[in-house]
Structure 1
Amino acid sequence: MTEGEQSPGGRTADRSEGFGERLLGLLLDRAHEMPPQLIAPLIAEEVTRIGGRDVSILLQDYAGELLVPLPGRRLLVSDAEEIGDSPAGRAFLTAATVEIQQGNDGVRMYLPLLDGSDEVGVMALTLDTVDDDDRRLLRRLAGLVADMLVTKHAYTDRFFQARRREPMSVAAEMQWSLLPPLTMSVPQVSVSGAVEPAYDIAGDSFDYALNDDVLHAAVIDAMGHGLDAATMATVTIGAYRHARRAGISLSDMYSYMDQAIAGQFGADHFVTAQMMKLNITTGMLQWVNAGHHAPLLIRQHVVRKLESPTTLPVGLGGERPVVSEHQLRRGDRVLCYTDGVIEERDEDGEPFGEERLIRCVNRLGQTEGGMRSAAIKLSRALKQERGGRTSDDATVFLIEWRAGAADHLATLE
């Protein structure tokens, strides 16, 4: 069908290339073979074509505390900004554009860089004036930039080096390469996690996958510290993914993971774990518990612990676990956490404890800005409550069931 011919629906198909398509198309056409170090100059050139200037790319640091500038030719490299009440921090936490009028110097725009629903960072630039066409084009440009950064991140160290604010242990290097995107969000469900200490994490990990109408999730805590714990966590997550992709039941997943750890490390090593399945259409949550702390059910505040029968940790040859079930309500959140969150001791030698965790969750309430914001704020608040100490791995993982449907996203208007 040539330009001007009728489409099957009786409408005329317009294939002409508008300004916005040319601008984004140039970036897309070149992205496939673009060396990572040339992304920044090309982005700056693209922004210049729409009258923009002073472009900065700010990436989330590994501790989830700062947005750090990506160095690059033609980029404005400024100081790192806190993920908090700075304009860039607000754009990051809310996943929404923030505009700051700068008197006669134009409008400074902060656009979240979203890879799917995972916040990569923020793109900042200045325009003399801003209208809705600018906003729409820049929002789409930011999405394309985020996808390019994530793709190129897989085969360069430059983005990693920009995000790293202090030395990182080998164990932490392994764990960060193991983790999925920290946030995933679709209309029916959202998840987000945070790990501490970011630069020395070892035995904690989490994983998830959304397969059609089922969200699969797991949170694990391998015994010990350092490389031994990181190696055990890597094998455990690998076994979990293998079992999950084979489509076996939660009980069988436990057995498979148990055999993998026992066979590789012997009977004196173990990993606590929770494996879950959430039907995102009905809200039915199923899980098995292998020596792990019970998750917390949150409706604005913690309403109960999701107690369940438990079996021995993975690797110790426990009995086949019982699958527990709970029907979630729309808007319910489930918080999973590892023992480092509640077993840290204060100056008086007292453990942090579950009750203080619950009080901290209740004090935060339902934070604005979505699940990434919730996970970051909770992890920060818990660390502050522990007096800034994290001597053991401390991980939080949140699931929010939203119900609803997503079919409308597959329909072009």
Structure 2
Amino acid sequence: MPDVTALLVDQERNPPPELLAALAHEDVAVEVRTPREALEGEPPWAEVLLTPAAMPPRAVREIGRRLAESGTTPITVVYAEDGFDDIEQHIRLGHDYIVPPFLPPMVRARLRSCYERAKLGRAMEEVEAQAELLSYERELKIGRQIQEGFLPEELPGPDGWDLDVRFRPARKVAGDFYDVFELVNRRRLALVVADVCDKGVGAALFMALIRSLLRHTAEHSGLQSPMTTHQAADPAHVIPVVGATPLMNAVVGTNGYLTRNHSGQGYFATMFFGVLDPATGSLVYINGGHNPPMLVPREGGDPTPLEPTGPAVGVIPDCAFSLGYAQLRPGDTLFVYTDGVPEARDEHGAFFGDERVLDLLRQPAPSGRALLERMEAALREHSGAAEQHDDITMMAVHRTAGPG
């Protein structure tokens, strides 16, 4: 067995001379250490670990783990000159063994058998690990397809409005989501962008749950809100607002369900849920702890943030959510995004930053698509070859200058 290295551990540094001679005859490079030296010294690269059968199995396992730190998993072989009863406890742990006479042909045959069996075992482990990885990748792919089914296939296009979205998960499945759907006999448009804490499979499952709760509750709620049961963010709005009831019921109902049934999982979501009147440009919304969406004026300049009107959903039971109001004039654009935009990193870990987002929004854009393309290009330039750390979702709602 040429080019094989072995670590022989012996308490007295006095292993059987016949065993050493047989190993040397088979070109096995042997280093002899005491148990203490094997545990405390720099772990050598060794494909075979040889120890007396009298050594306690726990100590042998500990030395084997220490050798694994050098990047190899050694074959463990115990030997005994007498007292063969000690071998039994090692056999039960899967260790191989050598017994006298330590003749070179016998040692060669025994070590080769052990070596080939260990190679086969490692190959089987690699095959199983690869199969498990492929299965996991396949399940993630299916999960991605299911999650994509929760996102709208196409965005509604009411006359006088231009809607566009960018959605880029950091992994196979995402915790971000968006939704656009019609309410109140197609007279109102629901706009949702949300970000479930964390990312990956767990966040994706909560994304599906929250999205389903929001849409189902909103679509099966009444038309109007008397506005006396909820504190409005703008006291001037005291008249009924069509679409406010589905909005409030959806957010309050989802928050109640999550805090009652899923608080132990520790997941929550920040979200912006707005209900738009396409005929007038009037927007009523709830911002549950989300990055403030930006209302970008037609002529450019500083955008107006739509600040939070309540906490994140799924954190505080029976909490109060207020309603916010905004008006989109012809040429205005509403930009809604998740924190993956300002927190996008370059190759050195530097963030894209809120100021960069504001600078890009201050430049006039002829459409929602043009705004998102500008933002997306800036993000690509900033990130370069850096790994994407968080999901990125952006939505632009642009009111055109004229109908149609």
Q: Which amino acid aligns with 2:325?
A: E
**In the superposition, relative to structure 1, how do residues 392 and 309 fare at CA in structure 2: closer, same or farther (>3 Å)?**
closer
SS in 2 for 1:340: coil
Q: Is contact 2:297–2:303 with CA below 8 Å preserved after alignment?
A: no
Q: Secondary structure at the match of 1:185?
A: coil
> Out of 222, 225, 228, which is 2:199 matched to?
225
Cα pair 2:303 2:361 within 8 Å, conserved: no
Counterpart residue type for residue 303 of structure 2: R
Match of 2:174 in 1: 202
Q: Can you give the 5+ residue segments of structure 2 that lack an aligned partner in the other structure?
A: 1-138, 222-244
Deviation at 1:185, TM superposition (A): 2.1
| 8 Å CA contact retained: 2:190, 2:273 | yes
Task: Tell me which residue corresponds to 2:19.
Answer: none
Match of 1:246 among 199, 208, 220: 220
- Which AA in structure 1 matches 2:360? C
Residue 385 of structure 1 corresponds to which residue in structure 2? 382
Structure 1: distance between partners of 2:311 and 2:325? 19
Residues 189, 387 of structure 1: CA spacing in aligned structure 2 closer, same or farther, 3 A cutoff? same
Deviation at 1:377, TM superposition (A): 4.6
Conserved in 1, the CA contact under 8 Å of 2:292 and 2:308?
no
| Range with bigger deviation, 252-261 or 267-276 | 252-261
- CA–CA distance in 2 between the matches of 1:349 and 1:293? 21
Opposite residue 324 of structure 1, the aligned amino acid is G
Q: Distance in 2 between matches of 1:192 and 1:292?
A: 19
More strand per residue: 1 or 2? 1
Paired residues of 1:274 and 1:287 also in contact (CA < 8 A): yes
**Which of 247, 256, 276 is the aligned partner of 1:259?**
256
Show the counterpart of 1:310: 309
C-alpha distance 392-328 of structure 1, shift in aligned 2 (>3 A): same
The 1:309/1:272 distance shift into structure 2, 3 A limit, reads: closer
What's the offset of the Cα at 1:258?
0.9
User: Deviation at 1:270?
Assistant: 0.4
Structure 1 residues 168 and 193, CA gap change in structure 2 (3 angstroms):
farther
Given residue 298 of structure 1, which amino acid in structure 2 is its aligned partner?
V
The answer for the alignment partner of 2:333 in structure 1 is 333
Whether the aligned pair in 2 keeps the contact of 1:340 and 1:394 (CA below 8 Å) is yes
String of CA shifts for 1:188-216, please: whole Å, max 9, x gaps.
32321111137634101110113433111
1:373 deviation in Å?
A: 5.2
Q: Does the residue aligned with 2:156 lie in a helix, a strand or coil? A: strand
Q: Following superposition of structure 1 onto structure 2, how do residues 18-33 of structure 1 map, counting pairs within 5 Å? A: none
Computing the radius of gyration from Cα coordinates, the structure with the larger value is: 2
Q: How far does the alpha carbon of each residue in 1:129-163 deviate from its partner, in whole angstroms, 9 at most, with x for none?
A: xxxxxxxxxxxxxxxxxxxxxxxxxxxxxxxxxxx
Residues in 2 aligned to 1:339 and 1:207: alpha-carbon distance in whole angstroms: 17
Question: Which deviations, in whole Å up to 9, do the C-alpha atoms of 1:91-121 show, x marking residues without a partner?
Answer: xxxxxxxxxxxxxxxxxxxxxxxxxxxxxxx
Aligned partner of residue 207 in structure 2, secondary structure: helix
The more displaced of 397-406 and 189-198 is: 397-406
**Cα separation, partners in 2 of 1:372 and 1:169, compared to 1, 3 Å:** farther
Normalised by the length of structure 1, the TM-score is: 0.52
Secondary structure of the 1:205 match is strand
Residue from 294, 297, 301 that aligns with 2:295: 297
Residue of structure 1 in register with 2:153 after alignment? 181
Q: Give the deviation of 1:224 after TM superposition.
A: 1.4
SS in 2 for 1:310: coil
Contact 2:171/2:200 (8 A) holds in 1: no
For residues 6-60 of structure 1, give each alpha carbon's deviation from its aligned partner in whole angstroms, at most 9, with x where no partner exists.
xxxxxxxxxxxxxxxxxxxxxxxxxxxxxxxxxxxxxxxxxxxxxxxxxxxxxxx
C-alpha change, 1:178 and 1:271, in structure 2 (3 Å) is same
Q: Aligned AA for 2:343?
A: E
Cα deviation 1:357-392 (Å, max 9, x = unaligned) = 1223445x425xx54454345334323223354211
Q: How far apart in 1 are the matches of 2:310 and 2:206?
A: 19
* 1:305/1:371 CA distance change after superposition, 3 Å: closer
Query: 2-side partners of 1:282 and 1:298: how far apart?
Result: 17
Amino acid in the other structure paired with 2:282: M
Number of paired residues? 238
Residue pairs, 1:95-114, within 5 angstroms: none
- Contact 1:168 1:199 (8 Å CA) reproduced: no
Kept in 1, the 8 Å contact 2:160–2:403? The answer is: yes
Q: Which residue identity does 1:299 align to in structure 2? A: P
Contact 1:179–1:206 at 8 Å: present in 2 too? yes
Find the aligned partners of 1:273 and 1:250 in 2 and give their Cα distance: 12
Partner of 1:323: 323
Q: Which residue in 1 is equivalent to 2:187?
A: 213
Provide structure 1 residue ranges, at least 5 long, that are not aligned to the other structure.
1-166, 407-413
- Counterparts of 1:333-372 in structure 2, within 5 Å, are 333-362=333-362, 365-367=364-366, 371-372=368-369
